[in-house]
Amino acid sequence: MTDADLERVRGGADPSDAFGRCGPGTSWKWLGNVYTPECRAHDAAVRSQEAAGAPKWLAHLRALPELPAAVASYVRAKL
């Protein structure tokens, strides 16, 4: 495993990847660059579903149970 791979696991060295960033990718810049374990868990759930062959919309739907914790972690981080 490369250093770059390890960095992605930790929270994402590649800013264009945004794995673990709270919010939809990097498009909503007004959210700031907040990375939390809960947002990482949500991203991992989405990616897991996509890797299993689910279309993007269904992957997000199936990852909804992780979303409330991700939103709460963002709010906590911003306070």
- Please classify residue 12 by burial: count the beta carbons closer than 10 Å to its beta carbon, then call 0-12 exposed, 13-18 middle and 19+ buried: middle
The CA-atom distances, in angstroms, between 51 and each of 21, 28, 48, 77 are 19, 25, 5, 29
Closest alpha carbon to 56 in 35, 1, 48, 73: 48
Query: Looking at residue 11, what is its pLDDT?
Result: 52
Task: Please state the pTM of the whole predicted model.
Answer: 0.78
The Cα 68–Cα 57 span in angstroms is 18
d(CA 79, CA 76): 5
28-76 pLDDT, tens digit per residue, is 889 988 999 999 999 999 999 999 999 999 999 999 999 999 999 999 9
